[in-house]
Structure 1
Amino acid sequence: MPSTFESYDHTIRAELAAWQRQMQRPPTLVNRLTRRVQARLNALLPEKVHQAITTAIREMVRGVLFGSQHLTAKPLREGTLAERETAVRTRIRYYRNTAAVEGGVTGAGGLLLGLADFPLLLGLKLKLLFDIAALYGHDVHDYAERVYLLHVFQLAFSGQHTRNDTYRRLADWDAYRHTLPPDVQEFDWRTFQQEYRDYIDLAKLAQLVPVIGAAVGAVANYKLLEQLGETAMNCYRMRWFASAQAAATSE
């Protein structure tokens, strides 16, 4: 008779395998057409605009990623996967509900408050990733772990083309981390900001529309945090099972 923990791990392995298949699917016809449209729209923007957006998002993300050590919980050293994921789901619910309230308030406030939602939401997303990493036992004071969070973020909010490439890096992270540049400035921020912007554009633009902005903002933020939480959980599950396999092999 398998234990409760063994039964949980078996269930999670099945969920993880289904998610991994989804991450490795080739782009569909709709994905390809959407990507072409987005590329044409991006081509209409002057290069100076692209540079300004890239710089703004890079500095916002870096400000949170490399300026929040004092807000980050210590990595959880003890606990089964089931215990850790109970705590992770609690954190996701908290941030998801907070983001929904924030989106509703800024969406009801018109254009200026709607624009203020962008950095507020970005901060909530990154803080959620910090908390999830710590609950799975990873120390985000480590530079490589923070770059890992960037990849998790990109996996959650990218088109299928970029998602395929990002997934492959995360699936073989122990090898890929040794190829990381020493300075996060060398991260591909241009692709990062374009994929993120393209992914959330329609939902966040609708948030600026009078009357419906509050409802759209609440629902959009709720869904975006839910998507990020699910992606992060599966990424850390991959590392959990890879570590368990490596430990078993070394015995």
Structure 2
Amino acid sequence: MEYRSEISEELEAWERKITRKSSMVSRSAKRIQNRINGVIPERLHSIVTNSIKTMVQGVLVGSTYTVHPPKKNRSLQVRDQQAKELIRKYKRIAATEGAGTGAGGILLGLADFPLLLSIKMKLLFDLASTYGYDAKKIEERVFILTIFQLAFSSDDTRRKSYRKISSWDESLSQIEVRKKYEEHDWKTFQLEYRDYIDLPKLLQMVPGVGAIVGAYVNYHFLDWLGENAINAYRTRMIKEENQTT
């Protein structure tokens, strides 16, 4: 109870951050990006779309990522500490990967999309285990995808994802969940994700500065994903504990 009180302000600050509107600068950048998307060759859209579709299908089918057994009988404080250690590890991995692909110009810059996606998803699978959830279950895999959308999407999708996480016990059945994701609009999904990361990733392809930008940007993205994952699991665990007391 004492630790819950300590982190309550963090959870409130996170909720405000997630539910507020983007700044005017961000909204203006989004309008510009929408126009840019209209002139980008469809082949490039397809590369990113297929990377994200493959990632999501790999999560749902369960054939792509290693699933560790859920860790039991640990306090929320211990889980948070272990989660933060994991995030630090994955931030270093992502920074190294970003520096390597950033140094290679446009072709390796394109390769960074699936590589970075894989790192992000591996982190989320490890965090599920850390917080005591079995990622072999379809509903836990959808929770992982919801955290991903929470971190990297438009204002509207981000708020919808937050509402789902805040009331996870009211989520869809396994059959409905699977059907929903099989019929997902993959191009819209990838556009939201790519729009979120587009400008820094374009800078990553600039010769001379790509390696520095790639390392910094990837480190930042993993940090942001980790923050959202920790608070999503905190919110879920606290609500489940409150329902059983």
Q: Same fold (TM over 0.5)?
A: yes
Equivalent residue, structure 2, for 1:111? 106
User: For the residues of structure 2 that align with 1:34 and 1:110, how far apart are their CA atoms?
Assistant: 24
**Identical-pair percentage:** 46
Amino acid at match of 2:199: L
Among 130, 134, 137, the residue aligned to 2:129: 134
Structure 1, unaligned stretches of length 5 or more? Answer: 1-5
Structure 2, unaligned stretches of length 5 or more? Answer: none
Among 169, 177, 182, the residue aligned to 1:181: 177
Give secondary structure in 1 for the equivalent of 2:173. helix
Given the alignment of the two structures, is residue 160 of structure 1 paired with residue 155 of structure 2, yes or no?
Answer: yes
Equivalent residue, structure 2, for 1:200? 197
Amino acid at match of 1:68: T
Aligned length: 242
User: For the residues of structure 1 that align with 2:111 and 2:219, how far apart are their CA atoms?
Assistant: 17
Is the CA contact (8 Å cut-off) linking 1:133 and 1:140 kept in structure 2? Answer: yes
Render the CA deviation track for 1:189-239: whole Å, top value 9, x for unaligned: 333211110011111111111111110010011000000000100111110
Amino acid at match of 2:190: Q
The change in CA–CA distance for 1:135 and 1:206 in structure 2 (over 3 A counts) is same
Deviation at 1:170, TM superposition (A): 1.8
User: For the residues of structure 1 that align with 2:45 and 2:102, how far apart are their CA atoms?
Assistant: 25
Amino acid at match of 2:192: E
Among 206, 210, 215, the residue aligned to 2:212: 215
Among 54, 57, 63, the residue aligned to 1:62: 57
Equivalent residue, structure 2, for 1:3? none
Amino acid at match of 1:219: Y
Give secondary structure in 1 for the equivalent of 2:128. helix
Amino acid at match of 1:182: R
Equivalent residue, structure 2, for 1:74? 69
The residue correspondences of 1:2-17 to structure 2 (distance < 5 A) are 6-17=1-12
User: For the residues of structure 1 that align with 2:46 and 2:103, how far apart are their CA atoms?
Assistant: 30
TM-score (norm. length: structure 2): 0.90
Is the CA contact (8 Å cut-off) linking 1:95 and 1:128 kept in structure 2? Answer: yes
User: For the residues of structure 1 that align with 2:240 and 2:81, how far apart are their CA atoms?
Assistant: 20
User: For the residues of structure 2 that align with 1:172 and 1:190, how far apart are their CA atoms?
Assistant: 27
Given the alignment of the two structures, is residue 85 of structure 1 paired with residue 80 of structure 2, yes or no?
Answer: yes
Given the alignment of the two structures, is residue 242 of structure 1 paired with residue 239 of structure 2, yes or no?
Answer: yes
The change in CA–CA distance for 1:83 and 1:148 in structure 2 (over 3 A counts) is same
Render the CA deviation track for 1:35-90: whole Å, top value 9, x for unaligned: 33233333345667655642332013323552235x22111111000111111011
Equivalent residue, structure 2, for 1:20? 15
Given the alignment of the two structures, is residue 190 of structure 1 paired with residue 190 of structure 2, yes or no?
Answer: no
User: For the residues of structure 2 that align with 1:50 and 1:211, how far apart are their CA atoms?
Assistant: 26
User: For the residues of structure 1 that align with 2:110 and 2:44, how far apart are their CA atoms?
Assistant: 17
Amino acid at match of 2:209: I
Q: 16-25 vs 132-141, which deviates more?
A: 16-25
